[in-house]
Amino acid sequence: MYNSSLLVIQELLSTNAYLGHRMPSSGLQGYLYGFRNEMAIINLEKTLICLRRACNLIESIIRAKGHFLLVNTDPEYNKIVQQMAKRTNQSYINHKWIGGFLTNRKHMKNVQKHFQNFSAHSKFKDASTSSPFDFFPHFRKMQKCFEGIMTYDIPDCLVIINANKNSMAILEANQLQIPIVSLVDSNISNRLQKLITYPIPVNDDSIQFVYLFCNLITKTVILSQSAWPLSRKPLSRGRRP
């Protein structure tokens, strides 16, 4: 299954995925190859092993008709993540994480339905009319946070692009014992790293690697979906119409 994926992983060196920081955290020492010009060098063999483990998890989730949530708060990666989510039919968050999104699920379901209903209504309203909500920038920001959510159900896994910028998402998923796949740079705090179930040591500032990573996950999902029995359709899981 991974033969085609491994051809992509061989390009890791050209993406600068191995470049770490000058002061790596002690928890990442086991993933380092060494230092060069005082910069930490990430061991890409370890990265490859971690990628395989993460893909195995994603494969098992998709084969079981489950779903995962993509979490990204770096505007530079928004388009990559959005395209990946659409190709795999998974949910994504490309904006600021909303506190309680996982741990206060009952309230968030109501909020989510409210924003989605308003979005559907706004598509058909007369352009010459305005809504009271148009005058509240905070409402628009909140609406963006929910635009990529495809289901009201708790995800079976979180896939996080930038761990250092999404500590709240990691804490909430850990509290609910939801597996976490996350890119971890060499400067990640030891506290966060210990909470990540499937860490992938890499230079998360490399847009080339993020593209390769998303492409690998996409291929894993598509191949796993192709293994579904033709007589059985995936569950709707409360998806939006």
Q: What is the domain count for the chain?
A: 2
Q: Which of 131, 147, 163 is the last residue of a domain?
A: 147
Evaluate whether residue 237 is within a structural domain: no
162 occurs within a structural domain: yes
With contact defined as beta carbons under 8 Å apart, do 226 and 76 qualify? no
Among 196-205, 211-220, 232-241, which is the least confidently predicted range?
A: 232-241
What is the model's pLDDT at position 116? 62
Provide mean pLDDT across the span 78-94. Answer: 93
Residue 232 lies in a domain: no
Query: Is the residue at 235 inside a domain?
Result: no
For residues 192-208, average pLDDT: 91
SS3 content of the chain, % helix, strand, coil (to 5): 50, 10, 40
96 and 175 assigned to the same domain: yes
Instruction: Write the DSSP symbol of residue 130.
Output: -
Residues 6+ apart with CB under 8 A from 37: none
CATH of the domain at 177: 3.40.50.10490
pLDDT of 161 reads 93
Query: Do 23 and 67 fall into the same domain?
Result: yes
Q: In terms of domains, do 183 and 122 share one?
A: no
Which range is least confidently modeled, 63-77, 81-95, 100-114?
Answer: 100-114
Q: What is the mean pLDDT of the chain?
A: 80
- Among residues 124, 147, 170, the one where a domain terminates is 147
DSSP per residue over 40-94, as a string? EEE-HHHHHHHHHHHHHHHHHHHHTT--EEEE---GGGHHHHHHHHHHHT-EEE-
Question: Based on the domain organization, do 196 and 126 belong to the same domain?
Answer: no
Task: Give the per-residue pLDDT at 8.
Answer: 54
Predicted pLDDT of residue 121: 54
Please give the pLDDT value at position 213: 92
Pick 130 or 156 by higher pLDDT: 156
pLDDT higher for 71 or 139? Answer: 71
What DSSP designation does 194 have? T
Share of the chain above pLDDT 90, in %: 39
Note the pLDDT tens digit of each residue in 118-134.
Answer: 555 555 454 445 554 45
Distance spanning both ends of the chain, measured CA to CA: 33
Residue indicated by tokens 């359709």? 233
What is the predicted pLDDT for the residue at 33?
A: 73
Which of 8-22, 91-105, 193-207 is the least confident region?
Answer: 8-22
Is 4 within the bounds of a domain? no
Residues 139 and 190 in one domain: no
My answer on whether 58 and 176 are in the same domain is yes
| Pair 98, 109 in one domain | no
pLDDT tens, position by position, 14-63: 677 776 666 777 677 777 777 777 778 888 888 888 999 999 999 999 99
Residue 109: is its pLDDT beyond 70?
yes
The parent domain of residue 119 ranges over: 104-147
